[in-house]
Amino acid sequence: MASLTGYAGRLPRPAAGRLPGLPVRALAVGAAWLALAGATYGLPEEGDFPSTAAFAAGALGLGLGLPPLVVLSGRLGRAGTALAQGTPWLILLALAALAWELITAKFALLPMPFFPPPQAILEVFLDDGARLGGSILASLKLLAGGYLIGAGLGFVLGVAIGWSKTVGYWAHPVLRFVGPLPATAWLPLAFFVFPSSWSASTFLIALATGFPVTVLTWSGVAGVNKAYFDVARTLGASSTFLVLRVAIPAALPHVFVGLFMGLGGSFAVLVVAEMLGVKSGLGWYLQWAQGWAAYANLYAALIVMALMCSGLISLLFRLRDRVLSWQKGLVQW
């Protein structure tokens, strides 16, 4: 066995994919962004886009500023490591923007206004930033209220169902009947029952969040190893101690899975609710932009929404890694 172990230790490991050296990556990323700047500023446009010079200047700044940062990335700590690892994506982003620029603003291969060039979207952020920023704040407030209510109630109900057979007897059939229904199916009833569109939207987001949190929390509490409870009871633990200090900590991995699923479902309900009833927010902004055929505004809102959703999920993962430090890195995002 020892000889086999020693032989196994000498087996070649799978080769990890290696990126080119830092100087090569620095030259490549600089050339990509400078090519974008040159094409944007030098080639004639099929249309009038006021932010072309600003977009070209931004690309020029990245083309001149990124190469030295990539070369010095080893001295920049975590930010430098992230920059070195993300250099291929920066190159791809510049090339994609260059292709986008050529087929829209320069050669008009895609029709306007349905396919605006990159500088048209930049113009939205520059000229309509106040309205877009207000929509972001409105969406965040609506999402935070509904998500926190749904997650809190779902967590309490899940613990109660998983711990108490009486609560499970009465709540389980209701949960199986109501829970699988999409939250958007309750739209007509919610906007009729609740006094305002804001409260109705909050209810729908809470409903979309609460079901997965309830089910996963219930599953986590019910699946806790019974030996943990037996040991705690032997040491004189009360029922409250068993719930708060044994069942809930052991069920936290399942709880966070439910929180992730609830956050994803709440995003979909948020957009639909804002499109139908709320007079502010990113969903409302999307509908407003579509009504005015302002497709550059629509794409800008989609970009902001994607960044917001990804950022919130990243924050939730950071919270999970801090609370469940013994599972850090087990689930990746």
Structural domain includes residue 123: no
Q: Are residues 67 and 101 in the same domain?
A: yes
- 258 and 166 share a domain? yes
Q: Which residue has the tokens 């090339």?
A: 95
161's enclosing H/E stretch is helix 129-163
Check residue 181 and give its pLDDT: 85
Query: Do 94 and 205 have their domain in common?
Result: no
Q: What is the 3-state secondary structure (H, E, C) of 101-117?
A: HHHHHHCCCCCCCCCCC
CATH number of 141's domain: 1.10.3720.10
235 phi, psi to nearest 5 deg? -85, 5
CA nearest to 59, candidates 100, 22, 20: 100
Q: Looking at the structure, tell me whether residues 111 and 133 fall in a common domain.
A: no
% pLDDT > 70, the chain: 91
Domain-embedded: residue 79: yes
Contact 239, 160 (CB under 8 A): no
Distance CA 291, CA 219 (A): 45
Largest separation between any pair of C-alpha atoms in the chain: 82
Whether residues 97 and 236 share a domain: the answer is: no
pTM, two decimal places:
0.83
- The confidence score (pLDDT) of residue 15 equals 42
Tell me: the pLDDT tens digits for 28-71?
Answer: 999 999 999 999 999 999 888 999 999 999 999 999 999 999 99
Looking at residue 188, its pLDDT comes to: 84
- Count of structural domains within the chain: 2
Task: Count Cα atoms within 13 angstroms, Cβ side, for 147.
Answer: 22
Q: Same structural domain for residues 57 and 185?
A: no
Do residue 103 and residue 181 come from a single domain?
A: no
Q: State whether 271 and 184 are in the same domain.
A: yes
* pLDDT tens track for 135-185: 999 999 999 999 999 999 999 999 999 999 899 899 988 888 888 888 888
Q: Residue ranges of the chain with pLDDT lower than 50?
A: 1-17
**Do residues 312 and 189 share a domain?**
yes
Calpha distance 11→304 (Å, rounded): 48
The 10 Å Cβ neighbour count of residue 111 is 8
| Same-domain pairing of 33 and 135 | no
Q: What is the pLDDT of residue 1?
A: 38
How far is residue 312's CA from residue 140's CA, in Å, rounded to a whole number?
Answer: 10
**Which of 115, 143, 172 finishes a domain?**
115
Q: Does residue 121 lie in a domain region?
A: no
What is the per-residue pLDDT for 266? 92
Residues 49 and 142 in one domain: no
Identify the pLDDT of residue 235.
87
| Separation CA 234–CA 173 (nearest Å) | 34
Which residues, other chains included, contact 84 with Cβ-Cβ below 8 Å and sequence gap of 6+?
19, 22, 25, 70, 73, 74
Whether residue 102 sits in one domain with residue 33: yes
172 within some domain: yes
Does residue 150 form part of some domain? yes
Domain range for 80: 17-115
